[in-house]
Structure 1
Amino acid sequence: MLSKSKYLLLLFPILAFLGFQLLDKKSPASAEWPEITQTAKPWTRWWWMGNAVDEKNLSKLLETYHEAGLGGVEIAPIYGAKGYEDRYLEFLSEEWLSMLDFTVTKAESLGMGVDMTQGTGWPYGGPQVGVENAATRMIIQNYEKVDGQELPTPIQFQKRRENQYDAELIAVMAYDKDLNAKDITSFVKADGQLDWDEAGAWQIKAIFLDKTGQMVKRAAPGGVGFTLDHFSKSAVDSYNSYFQKAFAGKDYGIRSFYNDSFEVYGADFTGSFFEEFEKRRGYDLKAFLPYLESEEDSEMVRRVKSDYRETINDLLLNNFTKNWTSWAHNQSKLTKNQAHGSPGNLLDLYAAVDIPECETFGSSYFPIPGLRRDSADVRNVDPDPIMLKFASSAAHLTGKNLVSSETFTWLGEHFKSSFSQMKPEVEQAFLAGVNHIFYHGVTYSPEDVSYPGWLFYASLNLTQQNSLWPHFKGFNDYIARSQAILQAGKADNELLVYWPVYDVWAEPKGKMEMITVHAVDEWLHPTEFYKQSKSLMEAGYSLDFISDDIIANSTVKDGLIQTSPKNSAKVLLIPETEFMPIETLKSILNLAEAGGKVIFQSKPKSIPGYHSDQESRQAEFDALWASLSFNHGKVNVGKGQVILNQDSRGALESLGIYREKLVDSGLNFIRRKVADGTYYFLVNHSANTISQTISLNAKAGTVMVMDPLTGKTGSIPTTSNSEGTSISIYLKSGESIFLKTFEDKVDLAIPAWADYSQSLNSADISNNWKLTFIQGQPKLPSPQTMESIKPWTDNDSPEADDFSGQASYSSEFEMKKTEGKHYLLTIDKVYESAKIWINGKEAGNIWSIPYQLDVTEQLQNGKNTIKIEVANLMANSIRFLDRNGIEWRNYHEINFVNIDYKPFDASNWNTMPSGIAGKVQISEFD
């Protein structure tokens, strides 16, 4: 029985997650920033190295994280540091569970949340996974039987390694020259000899159920073992029951269980696969194995492989994802899952959990002037934000409020990533619908471990030893303010774009079709679905992706297609599609019949998969399509309409569905609908300043500007027109703002938003500075005086060149301040983050391009003092350690690698510039 307090603690985050908000009820206009909740704050994956945790350090670290603005942690036990084995705790032991209980209790006292990886390392597995429940693969051994001759070798499993388990013989099939099949399993003797001699030449295939042998990667103590068979319900049930027993009925208060991306290598089978296949697809796959093994681009190969992959999807979706979520709900827990990397329909897999999670991996290119992106420090990957939309679409369409992201994985080389580089990357995720950021990550590092503490092998390492940590809260506050808005109300997307997964499953190459982040050039980019989605988004349309199953479960209300009680869209768009099930076409036409609007780029060519009655099924599909008597590309169906038009944009305009023309300026955007208006998130990732009048589709009598960097708000003049609302916007490259539109003219009792487009005059305060080093590694350099402000690494000081930490620039200046004017501090370059004090009053943070801050409130007429505390990167101090042979990385497993997965060595690095560069100015504006 849950106590009342425990029940409320559990209920509140679930209500927040569900995002209950009565959008139909008119609310008073509010100029307030949405509440900064636990989920609005960024969370982090929390690596427990070797499970070497204790109450003292857990308490201290959680307090440190809380003070830095983190809203929660996701416990991820992994391998440990050498020399600390006596501190290791066995995963799920009484001692470990005691630490879990302590962690949750301490986190609750701080208002923080806790998630937990249901295992150690990744993927799911461990010592509780016996061979019978381990990841499984299908091995096919081929033999040739010559007419009239015995098979020369016995049918026995051929091991690839000495310690490999014996595989189970499932069946033996014979195929003649026309690929007609016979099951000859019963003719195989115990010793493997084949006692069968039917006339003719035969291709013999022996099918074995083998174990992949994959062990959990990066496992923690107590977590070493086989990877789980995700396709087997009994294996998954056994895995879940192990945790249920370990928890012994105690509610440890974690919010959700988490599952990482599907990295189960080679697993393509399970013990009941052939039976499940026949039940679902209607034929015996064993009779069609030559097509499954072939890579010929033929119709039969594509159809059989499509059926095989669809069956794998069904087993993963039902036996693992839905089954796991149902079990978690019975434990009063949520599920958070990364569907990408799996062989299934990403949309349905994401939709089957409570919090869909995508990931940002690597570094994107942004043409923002001055944004550092050294090719030697980034991975050779090109992240695609459209990939992120599979997770957000599934959440939007099923009415789930939170879309999480594993963020900044390998953003750059260790110790070289700055907040200025993180900002556009996280904004790109926000624009794709992400609103619940998880850092990758923070490593638990005890107080007695010397600098740089325990570190995970993959960047980004945001730990309390990081020289940027004292400035981390400024970055976290920016994300928290942004996510407070992005979690409010509901997504405001007008289009549903059908993802033809059967086209992906019909790929003739390979057996499994792993739908991974790193293979988008193969399964995503060449498709018309991708090209249409990208083109429409770039043109200014807001959209979500929809699957066959979600279409089947959608309804129509007031002419809008409702995918759930909390989500609706104006139109369903079917891009050029090769394969579509009859059932999906029927569901689409049913939506039209009920009043929905549907656009087809072209007629889907065929039904997917292989069927014994293929011709009659195809004829039924063609007849259903032929029932649409298009007149100039349009036909009314019941209360709705179906349009056939290659020009999607033209078709949308004919339905009165218009794009946001603001994108023509170079801005990117996303919208959220709330009870008293609409939020716009506007981002300038272009190379240029955008200073012009833009049009918003939302009709608004009042528009409020909200700056997520500072939390400041202001009103902005509006002009209504037939297309919506016009406003003047001024955003430098790298800037982002939120707008809140109110349908009526309302008095928000807030000041007008400052116009920074044209300065009246500027004062250069770049001269006569003192520099004092505050704290850092390896030791504090001597103070410096500067005639003109410059980086501390430009002063021929080896000690300063090796320093990572915080240093303070200070100076005095005269300023004539005029009442009613606005004053903007600008710095040409900050390496890497700055806190500003003017006249002893903290003015704010500068850590992103453009490096600027409004200091009107702190500035005074006449003499002023200024202090700029700068935090640089860890790179220079790590270089010092490696150049001087000071050992700091000594871990079990992978130890510590660079961005190319080679042994890490910073000794040959150049000095990273640190401090302030260029001019420091204060400009006056109306």
Structure 2
Amino acid sequence: MKQWLMVVCTWVAVGVQVAWSQHDPWPAVDRETKPWARWWWMGNAVSEPTISRLMADYAGAGFGGLEIAPIYGAKGYEAQYLPYLSPEWMAMLRYTARQGDSLGLSIDLTTGTGWPFGGPQVGLSEAATRALFRKFELVGGTPFGSKIVPDDPKQRSASLLSLTAYDEQGNPVMITDHVTADGTLMWQPAKGKWELYAVFEGKTFQRVKRAAPGGEGYTLNHFSRDALDGYLSRFDSAFHREPQGIRAFYNDSYEVYGADWSADFFAEFEKRRGYDLQLHVRKLFSDDTAANAGRVKSDYRETMAELLLENFTRPWTQWAHRYGSVTRNQAHGSPGNLLDLYAAVDIPEAETFGSSFFQIPGLRRDSADIRNVDPDPVMMKFASSAANVTGKRLASSETFTWLTEHFKTSLAQCKPEVEQCFLAGINHVFFHGVTYSPEEAGWPGWLFYASVNFVPNNSWWPHLDGLNGYITRVQSVLQAGRSDNELLMYWPVYDNWDDSRGRMMTLTVHHIDEWLHPTPFYKNLQQLHRHGYSVDFVSDNLLARATVSEGLIHTSFEGMPYKALVVPLTRRMPLETLRKLISLAQQGATVVLQAVPEDVPGFADFAHRQAIFRELVETLPSSGATISPDVTAALQRLGIMGEPLARQGLGFVRRAAADGGTYYYVVNHQATAVDRRIPLLAATGGGSAVLLDPQSGGSGKTPCVAIDGHYGVRVQLRPGEAIVVKVGSEAGKEVPDWVYAGKELDRISLEQGWQLTFESGGPQLPKPIRADTLQLWTNDPGEAYQAFSGLGSYSTTVDMDMVTEDALYVLELEKLNESARVYINGREAGLIWSIPYRLRIGHLLKPGQNTIRIEVANLMANRIRDMDRKGKEWRSYHEINFVNIDYQPFDASNWPVQPSGLAGQAMIIRYKKN
């Protein structure tokens, strides 16, 4: 047992710097298993010495890579700005890539500055385009006194694309050719009342948001291949068509506001949908909810989706491949099929925005410091599903965006939020983020306006290796082998598109309560998750590639096959998809439909397609497909079961290991502890399993025993804890036994008095404090204590009558603000940075007197508060400058002092070893 304890403590002490031994049961670590971060280059005011210093800091804290994102700059440093893509800027990019290689850091690069794509190379003809619509009324035989020009004076130069006249019966007549260059209508019907619908090619005039120097300009038209080629040509020139050491090029979430057209849209629409949209513009541009308006708008939205995919996402990825790089893309927010867009790139990327509620006791969540947005892990599953279905190894996430108000985010708050990403299938986390800052900028340095500030100036930076080590260990598991989700679920995007309301439909994170939450798709998914099923989403296009072998559904050569396809209640389904469902079922695949699909989408020849659709629907029962309003019950009747552990309130991800075993990553986000045997469906026999503790890095084998008709293992998880279980292989043969905490034997309170000294931070180091009991240093009314952000060390001694090998000794802190590194008898015992605030320390204790030192880091908030109260200038940036979580001017002067240090009880709890 002593040997096992020493293994645990080695991991705790060295964190992410551990070198895996030949027999270590953890998967190997590389740059991609470590967390990465978005690295804002403010004003591109960068230099080689500072780049080198900062990258060494990032590597030392356990980062594996950085994504360079040039943005607006700090005032007063304009002389140091390097124009984007200039020879001087390119020299810094190449230097950064070389430094990264020497430090074990890979480099990604946004294909632009700020967001979205755009810049000085984008002229108005290539800029984001919008359809301008104007309605006129005309009476036959009466002179028409208006000009056929846009309403908006700023858009008067917009060219007329079409003019359609509707008579009183709704019959259309094309009269575009009857309009002169100045907008005069040279067409006069003899009688009747007419409505004229004019469509113009307008511009959004949107410019790049948060652009860096040299990156200012119009936003790109994402639906035009010519516009994209012209945009990328600037990079080709700057790169001299040679690779630049960039691992991946990046594209942020689609935020091209009001862009809903392209110059050749009418022609593209007719080629793709088979009819002339100009004859149906009234259905598209009015609020007409009459029959078939939704069908026309569905066709419009489908065409926009195809143009975005074919003219932007795919060719951008092909362009990156020519440089030996890959692409990372955030598809959410796009007017397209999210699954197809994610699948078209090499690393699909999701995003967390805001703060989630977790039932974990003691987890701080102040309503005044969070946005009124709850991240939904289902949204992240669009990215991970596209990766899994197409056999891609990585699915990334922009993580912690606006997790809390500036300077108030603790490492403990980060942990469940990133765990929620992992449970949604994400395995390549990007922090949002870190900011390049020169030493002369002082404290707090340059900061981005919308992030958790993962910067060396952060007071908890010395403890960041705790979070980074945890993420590294989890991602080493989640990147190993292949995803092992058993179900495919069809996403009926045409049900969204077939909607007579509005015109453009962007599927954004902030509006999922409109396009996702009310749908049968979402409600079925929630039920399946509650019953322990692991699900990936599939689009019509991705499903078309599926094959069947031995009753399993294969979607890619690299990915794991699926046991069944689930089709939720669907209003609109293409004929091709319905045929595919029937074909899969006929080949022996398990296909479960909640109900018979209702109809085909789209307007062209839809009556004929409806007739064929109805004939095909009649063949569904005989094809072997199952139709049941309760898809979960149907799956269970078919012998496809979910993981029973989900019914115990545990979250999990399952991965198929390369050696034939299976990994389970299991998380307890409940309010109560779990100490029980949990069945695991992948455990098909007795023997042993391996437990891997991602908090400490410890490992051990444990018996795999029969439980309720399955095999499984015992787990002990307090609220906020996670464990990795590996079953079904011989990987743990040389691993020591896992040690469980048994009966509590006694508690030893640390009551011999405490000495508090301050080690580093500012604005100044407060004087030491001696107290009989633990107390927050902010309880002292002195200004130095109220304003201090940094490290304070609490020291005490404890007398131990004996320290035995048959007991576990756990240090427990009742109240910690915010993280701590613990030293026992002068030796490091490990970090306490997340709930529960506990650490095993028995291997460092000795009979007699023991010294305990607890190095505590608080938040940056109190020092920022002090600076604002004293009117000290620390933020002065171009563009948005610096805002609070509600996008109002930032002011911390009225903040309450944030509790800092230790309080309550600190004790050593002794347990019997099991």
Alpha carbons of 1:578 and 1:693: their partners in 2 closer, same or farther (altered >3 Å)?
same
User: Which of 137, 143, 147 is the equivalent residue of 1:150?
Assistant: 143
Query: Amino acid of the residue matched to residue 660 of structure 1?
Result: E
Distance 1:617 1:120 in 2: 46
Distance in 2 of aligned mates of 1:752 and 1:296: 70
Show the counterpart of 1:659.
642
Which residue is equivalent to 1:329?
321
2:686 aligned with 1:686: no
Whole-Å separation in 2 of the counterparts to 1:93 and 1:747: 54
1:207-261 C-alpha deviation (Å, 9 max, x unpaired): 1101110000000000000000000011011111221111112321010100000
- For the aligned residues, what is the CA RMSD? 1.4
- Structure 2 residue identity aligned to 1:836: V
- Does residue 183 of structure 2 align to residue 192 of structure 1? yes
Pick from 464, 469, 473: which aligns with 1:472? 464
Superposition pairs of residues 47-66 of structure 1, within 5 angstroms: 47-66=40-59
**Aligned partner letter, 1:166:** S
Check the 8 A contact 1:179/1:290 in 2, yes or no: no
The separation in 2 between residues aligned to 1:618 and 1:556, in whole angstroms, is 28
Q: How far has the Cα of 1:103 moved from its partner?
A: 0.3
Aligned letter for 2:785?
Answer: A
> Greater shift after overlay, 751-760 or 770-779?
751-760
Give structure 2 stretches of 5+ with no counterpart: 1-20
Distance of 1:764 and 1:307 partners within structure 2 = 70
Amino acid at match of 1:626: E
One of 109, 120, 129 as aligned partner of 2:113: 120
Mapped partners of 2:242, 2:182: distance in 1: 52
Query: 1:142 touches 1:205 (CA, 8 Å); kept in 2?
Result: yes
Change (3 A) 1:299 1:703: farther
User: How much does 1:129 deviate?
Assistant: 0.5
Maintained 8 Å contact 1:666/1:690:
no
Most deviating of 193-202 and 495-504: 193-202
Q: Which amino acid aligns with 2:162?
A: A
Compute the TM-score of the two structures, normalised by the length of structure 2. Answer: 0.95
**Structure-1 separation of matches of 2:486 and 2:732:** 30
What is the correspondence of 1:800-811 to structure 2 with a 5 Å cutoff?
800-811=785-796
Which amino acid is the alignment partner of residue 342 of structure 1?
Answer: S
| CA gap 1:165/1:450 in 2 versus in 1, 3 angstroms | farther
Count how many residue pairs are aligned between Structure 1 and Structure 2. Answer: 886
Deviations 1:406-450 (A, max 9, x none): 000000000000011000000000000000000001000011111
Deviates more, 1:518-527 or 1:660-669: 660-669
- Aligned counterparts of 1:717 and 1:251: Cα–Cα separation in 2: 51
1:148-195: CA deviation from partner (whole Å, max 9, x where unpaired):
11222111233344xx57111112111112321111011112332211
Relative distance call for 1:296 and 1:687 in structure 2 (3 A) is: farther
CA distance in 1 between counterparts of 2:182 and 2:83 reads: 44
Alignment of 1:879 onto 2:879: no
Quote the residue 1:183 is aligned against.
174
2:370 to 364, 378, 392: 378
Counterpart AA for 2:872: I
Deviations 1:62-102 (A, max 9, x none): 00100010100000000000000011000000000000000
Residue in 2 that maps onto 1:310: 302
> Is 2:250 the counterpart of 1:258?
yes
Q: Does structure 2 conserve the Cα–Cα contact (< 8 Å) formed by 1:119 and 1:125?
A: yes
Q: In the TM superposition, what are the counterparts of 1:358-757 in structure 2 within 5 Å?
A: 358-567=350-559, 568-611=561-604, 613-628=605-620, 630=621, 635=622, 637=623, 641-676=624-659, 677-699=661-683, 700=685, 701-720=687-706, 723-743=709-729, 748-756=733-741
SS at match of 1:481: helix
Match of 1:759, SS state, is: strand
In the TM superposition, residue 724 of structure 1 has moved relative to its aligned partner by 2.7
1:218 pairs, out of 183, 188, 210, with 210
Shift of 1:104: 0.3
Residues 284-322 of structure 1 show CA distances to partners (whole Å, capped at 9, x for unaligned) of 111111111233444311101100000000000000001
Q: Return the offset for 1:747.
A: 6.0
Question: Which residue of the partner structure matches residue 141 of structure 1?
Answer: 134
Amino acid at match of 2:142: Q
Partner of 2:744: 759
**Shift of residue 722, structure 1, vs aligned partner:** 7.3
Choose from 754, 775, 782 the match for 2:760.
775
Q: Which residue of 1 aligns with 2:100?
A: 107
Partner of residue 18, structure 1: none
Q: Which residue type is aligned with residue 909 of structure 1?
A: W
2:781 aligns with: 796
> Aligned partners of 1:723 and 1:83: how far apart in 2?
70
Cα distance in 2, alignment partners of residues 384 and 583 from structure 1: 31
**Where does residue 162 of structure 2 map in the other structure?**
171
Contact 1:49 1:79 in 2 (8 A): yes
Query: Are residues 1:839 and 2:854 paired?
Result: no
Q: Distance in 2 between matches of 1:79 and 1:488?
A: 39
Q: What is the letter of the counterpart of residue 831 of structure 2?
A: N
- Separation in 2, partners of 1:98, 1:904: 35
Q: Distance in 1 between matches of 2:46 and 2:834?
A: 35
Provide the rounded CA distance (Å) in 1 between the counterparts of 2:541 and 2:130. Answer: 28
Q: What residue is the counterpart of 2:72 in the other structure?
A: 79
Is 1:90 matched with 2:83? yes
Residue number in structure 1 paired with 2:892: 906
Q: Distance in 2 between matches of 1:599 and 1:295?
A: 37
TM-score (structure 1 length as normaliser) = 0.94
Aligned partners of 1:672 and 1:680 also within 8 Å: yes
Q: Structure 1 CA distance, aligned partners of 2:698 and 2:738?
A: 9
Q: Note the alpha carbon deviations across 1:488-521, whole angstroms, 9 max, x for none.
A: 0011100000000000111222111110000000
| Counterpart-to-counterpart distance in 2, 1:756 and 1:371 | 24
- Aligned partners of 1:440 and 1:459 also within 8 Å: yes
Q: Which piece of structure 1 moves more, 471-480 or 295-304?
A: 295-304
The correspondence for 1:32, drawn from 13, 25, 39, is: 25
Map 1:337-348 to 2 at 5 A.
337-348=329-340
The one-letter amino acid paired with 2:388 is H
- Whole-angstrom CA distance in 1 between matches of 2:706 and 2:606: 57
Deviation at 1:825, TM superposition (A): 0.9
C-alpha separation in 1, matches of 2:747 and 2:583: 65
Give the CA deviation at 1:609: 0.7
| Aligned match of 1:239 | 231
One-letter amino acid of the structure 2 residue matched with residue 264 of structure 1: V
Deviations 1:765-800 (A, max 9, x none): 144111110110111000111101121112333211
Q: Distance in 1 between matches of 2:905 and 2:435?
A: 37
1:855-893 Cα deviation digits (max 9, x unpaired):
122112222111111111000000000000100011000
* Distance across 2 between alignment mates of 1:831 and 1:84: 36
* Counterpart position of 1:868: 854
Residue identity opposite 1:324 in structure 2: W
Alignment CA distance shift 1:165-1:129 (3 Å): farther
Matched residue type, 1:918: G
* Pairing partner for 1:131 from 119, 124, 127: 124
User: What SS is found at the alignment partner of 1:853?
Assistant: strand
CA spacing shift, 1:617–1:413, aligned 2, 3 Å: same
Q: Distance in 2 between matches of 1:786 and 1:295?
A: 72
The answer for the alignment partner of 1:819 in structure 2 is 805
Q: Is the 8 A contact 2:680 2:712 kept in 1?
A: yes
| Separation in 2, partners of 1:325, 1:471 | 38
Q: Is the CA contact (8 Å cut-off) linking 1:165 and 1:211 kept in structure 2?
A: no
Which residue of 1 is the match for residue 10 of structure 2?
A: none
Moved more, 254-263 or 684-693: 684-693
